[in-house]
Structure formats: structure tokens, C-alpha cells
Amino acid sequence: MTPYSFQSLVRGIEKRDIAALGRAVSIFEDRLALFPRLRTYLSSKTKSKTKGFIVGVTGSPGSGKSTLITALAKAMRNDKKTVAVIAVDPTSPKTGGAFLGDRVRMQELAEDLGVFIRSMASRGAQGGIARTTKDVAQLFLKAGYDFVLIETVGAGQLDYEVTKIADLTLLVLTPEAGDEIQFMKSGLRELADTFVINKTDRPGAQVMEDFLKQTQTNIPVFKTIAEQKKGIAPLYQYIFKRSHAKK
């Protein structure tokens, strides 16, 4: 791997150079030599190319978070927006290794130069994200990405940390999750400010929607079948409007 000076690394970040961004992420993950200077750079007043928007995507394993993110990223690219994806995977308690399967599921985006995907091991961190997720999200904003999508580990109520980073957090649910929703009822507002019922071609979708609208008023509810790209357009338009409201 070609070593970077701090100046060359910053130039690469500001050009959205894939190699430089990958190196910068590794510096954060492994606390390498340039870590302190890079962190100071991220917190500096240097203007980013755009005022990017961070979207957290949380929900239980099997809810279709990766598929939803892939579909959203495609909608964003069709709108000529640049996208960075941080996919946080759980770390194996036995080996310390991560199950970095998200990159496989997001292969449809791999050839698009306007999308940067980074899988990241949680490394035992609590709250559904890795300890460096916030730094890496800020890195992508500094590089000028329009949207940063963060997929959490998917451990239900434990995935609260992403709400501290994201401008908007989507909680992805499935029609089968009725018992889980009852259990999580008191904490739903703390977990997310938008609900997405995915896989709505399955029985129970309408019951789930009615329940959410009755018990969690003033929180938008969207219905999708991400695998078929159904319901993605209105969800993206909502995210787009929220991103502009921030600016």
C-alpha cells in the first residue's frame, strides 16, 4: 500500500479518491499514525463540497436493511446524487472477525463511481454501530457526498447510537414483527423518527401500518417491497425533502 502524507491524503479525500478514502477509513479503524491530525481536519472549519445528509437505517436482522439501502442508493444516483454507505456488521465473539456480508448484498452498486461502500466491523462496540462510525460518516461528508447511509448491526433496542449521528433514522420493520413491536413499543420514538414496513407483500402489513399510525402518531410510515423497488420513490422523495429542510 502506497503511504500517504497528511497533505496528499487530504487532497485525495477532497477529490473523493477511492484509495484515499479507503486509507482514511483504515486510519480511523486502526488508530494509525495520522489519526489525530485527520480527526482535527474533520472538525475544522474547512468547507465541504456539499452539505451532506446522514440517514441511519436500523432494524432487526432479516428485515431487509441492505436491500432497502441498495434500492435507496439507486434512487439517489438516478437523481444524480453521490452516496456513501457504511454497513456495520457484528463481530464474531469467538474469532473477533466480522461477518462482512453487506458488501456482497450491495454488489449491484459496485460499478458505480458515485457510490462508496465500506463494511465495518462493530468490534464489540455497543449501540449497533462501530466506535469509528461517526468519524467515518464525517469523513464522507467532508469528501462531499450528498448522502451517507449507515446500516446498523440490527440488534433491536440496542441500535440507539445511530440516532446521535444521523439527521434522519429509518426503522425497518416486517409484517411478521408484531410481537417485537409490542415489546419495543415504549422505545420506538427513541429508535427512529420514520418507520419503513418492508416486505409488504407478506400477510400482516396493513395490520402493522394501522398499529403504528394509531400508537406512534406524527411519525411517518412508509411501505416498501425493496427487493422489487416498490415504494422506494416516495421514501426517497421524503428523505430528499428532509435533507433540504436541514439546509
Report CA-CA distances (Å) from 146 to 58, 83, 133, 235, 239.
20, 6, 17, 16, 12
Q: Side by side, which strands form the sheet with 53-59? A: 115-121, 83-89, 147-151, 53-59, 168-173, 194-197, 221-223
- Alpha carbons 247 and 238: distance in angstroms, whole number: 15
**Whether residue 196 has pLDDT greater than 90:** yes
**Whether residue 244 has pLDDT greater than 50:** yes
**What is the CATH code of the structural domain delimited by 47-246?**
3.40.50.300
Residue with C-alpha cell 461528508? 141
Mean pLDDT over 76-85 rounds to: 97
Checking DSSP bridges between strand 168-173 and strand 53-59, what pairing results, if any?
Answer: parallel
- Which pLDDT belongs to residue 120? 80
231 phi and psi, to 5 degrees? 85, 0
The percentage of the chain sitting over the pLDDT mark of 90, rounded to a whole number, equals 51
- Which pLDDT belongs to residue 79? 98
Q: What is the pLDDT of residues 36-61, one digit of tens each?
A: 999 899 888 665 555 899 999 988 88
- Which pLDDT belongs to residue 96? 42
> Given pLDDT bands bounded at 50, 70 and 90, which one contains residue 93?
very low
Angle, helices 6-14 vs 35-42, to 10°: value is: 40
- Alpha carbons 118 and 101: distance in angstroms, whole number: 11
- Which pLDDT belongs to residue 97? 42
Q: What is the pLDDT of residues 118-173, one digit of tens each?
A: 888 655 544 445 678 889 999 999 999 999 999 987 755 556 788 889 999 999 99
Q: Kindly list the domain boundaries of the chain, sorted by start residue.
A: 1-46, 47-246
DSSP 54-116: EEEEEE-TTS-HHHHHHHHHHHHHHTT--EEEEEEEPBPTTT--B---HHHHTGGGTT-TTEE
The pTM assigned to this predicted structure is 0.88
